[in-house]
Amino acid sequence: MNLEIDQDGLSGEIEALGAISAEPAPVVTRVVFTEADRRGRDFVKQLCRDGGLSLHEDAVGNTFARWPGQEPDLPAVATGSHIDAIPNAGRFDGTVGVLGGLEAIRALARAGFRPRRSIELIIFTAEEPTRFGIGCLGSRLLAGLLDASAGARLKDRDGVTLDEARAAAGFTGPLSSVRLPAGHYSAFVELHIEQGPLLEKRQIGLGVVTAIAAPASLRVWIEGEGGHAGGVLMPARHDAFLAAAEIALAVEAGARATGAIDTVATVGVCELFPGAVNSIPSRVRIEIDARDIDQARRDSVLETIAEASAEVAARRGVTVRCETVNADPPAQCAPAVVAALAQSCDAHGLRFDLMISRAYHDSLFLARIAPTAMLFIPCRAGISHRPDEYASPEAIAQGALVLAEALVRLSEA
């Protein structure tokens, strides 16, 4: 079989999708269920139709484009990713896995291959947490990790519920209908930019992912006492921001204390009230992300944060309240799918590294219901979630080629 990727055509489609944005190029902003997101979906769906794939969408907008196999009743092989983008993002995060997955399927069709199992491209809804504060919304629902109450419970900053937003975008029906049973797919593979610098530094073109780190997300509220910046003497202060700063340092210390390079923790949000230069902060909200491929190590960081918060609260005379937004278990990739990717690299004489994913993806949740692995390609300087995010056309085409080869192996299994 002569597999060939249309590198120029694929690059053109990525550029065209990147131009569909709420902000001018080179910025890409496509927040779920907004007008830009709808236009992006329409663009990709038309490409799928043009490629001869049959389409359907579920109640939250997950989109499935199927290439029927010779034995269509067998569980299908799936690939895909997302096209939503955080504000001020780049062109390649997620879209490489969607458009690269589509091109892999088209390349197989051009080569005359006919799969035994059906092959399905999935465009997941809201991988990014921008609007509703929780990442991988569509894949969480597919895996049954969110119940139908999420429709009314999850709200954006304007108070619009998930149910209201999806209905306005044309997606109706009970959220309970989104869940897929275990065994629905025989395998799932996600092609993605690395979002890190390792492949580029090692000058290796492909990474076969063996494990996916999982995050725990916390919201912490610190209540102190406000007052005039000149009128309240230092011994009498109960400064909410300084308490938050100590907790933030404890987050860093907790991650470093594990001794493992794969443990990371970040304070990414800090909002203080009243926010005046001459007023002592009386209230602060911070948001914390802690992640690892080892759940016990990750959870030890959470324990450190809790202990530090209690100590800071007592010493500074403030109150601290912590809410766990999510604490997902890490995922180990399926050996058979990892092997299919490794064999596909070897079949085309391409070097690869076995590696872990420190960012989490829809694959983290698909792994709960299907044998799953990921394939990484390099991105320049490891930069992602910025307008200067970049992956070369050659790297994208190489990833699509290996993905296509892997789909052959998995669909014939």
Encode pLDDT of 280-318 as tens digits.
Answer: 999 999 999 999 999 999 999 999 999 999 999 999 999
Q: What pLDDT score was predicted for residue 261?
A: 94
Q: What are phi and psi of 376, to 5 degrees?
A: -100, 145
CA proximity to 342, closest of 406, 395, 397: 406
Full set of structural domains in the chain with CATH: 7-213+330-412 (3.40.630.10), 214-327 (3.30.70.360)
Tell me which H or E stretch contains 138: helix 137-142
Encode pLDDT of 223-268 as tens digits.
Answer: 999 999 999 999 999 999 999 999 999 999 999 999 999 999 999 9
Q: What are phi and psi of 225, to 5 degrees?
A: -130, 130
Q: What is the CA radius of gyration of the chain?
A: 23
Peptide bond into 274 cis (omega under 30): yes
Q: What pLDDT score was predicted for residue 130?
A: 93
Q: What pLDDT score was predicted for residue 27?
A: 98
Q: What pLDDT score was predicted for residue 255?
A: 98
Q: What pLDDT score was predicted for residue 176?
A: 96
State the CB neighbour count (10 A cutoff) for residue 354.
Answer: 13
Q: What pLDDT score was predicted for residue 326?
A: 86
Q: What pLDDT score was predicted for residue 113?
A: 98
Q: How far apart are CA 119 and CA 56, in angstroms?
A: 14
E strand map for 224-339? 227-228, 264-273, 279-280, 283-292, 319-327, 331-332
pTM of the model: 0.91
Confidence of residue 325 (pLDDT cuts 50, 70, 90): confident
- Is the confidence at residue 133, as pLDDT, over 90? no
SS3 sequence of 14-36: HHHHHCCCCCCCCCEEECCCCHH
- Is the confidence at residue 1, as pLDDT, over 90? no
Q: What pLDDT score was predicted for residue 399?
A: 98
- Is the confidence at residue 39, as pLDDT, over 90? yes
pLDDT cut 90: percent of the chain above it: 97
For range 123-138, the mean pLDDT:
95
Q: How far apart are CA 284 and CA 35, in angstroms?
A: 33
DSSP string, 32-71: TTSHHHHHHHHHHHHHHHHTT-EEEE-TT--EEEEE--SS
Q: How far apart are CA 325 and CA 150, in angstroms?
A: 13
> Is 172:62 a contact under the CB 8 Å cutoff?
no
- Is the confidence at residue 128, as pLDDT, over 90? yes
Q: What pLDDT score was predicted for residue 404?
A: 98
Q: Characterize 88-103 residue by residue with b for buried, 16 or more Cβ atoms within 10 angstroms of its Cβ, and e for exposed.
A: ebbbbbbbbbbbbbbb
Mean pLDDT of the chain: 97
Encode pLDDT of 369-407 as tens digits.
Answer: 999 999 999 999 999 999 999 999 999 999 999 999 999
> Is 285:201 a contact under the CB 8 Å cutoff?
no
> Is 61:169 a contact under the CB 8 Å cutoff?
yes
Q: What are phi and psi of 293, to 5 degrees?
A: -85, -10
DSSP string, 323-376: EEEEEPPPEEPPHHHHHHHHHHHHHTT--EEEEEESS--THHHHTTTS-EEEEE
Encode pLDDT of 179-238 as tens digits.
Answer: 999 899 999 999 999 999 999 999 999 999 999 999 899 999 999 999 999 999 999 999
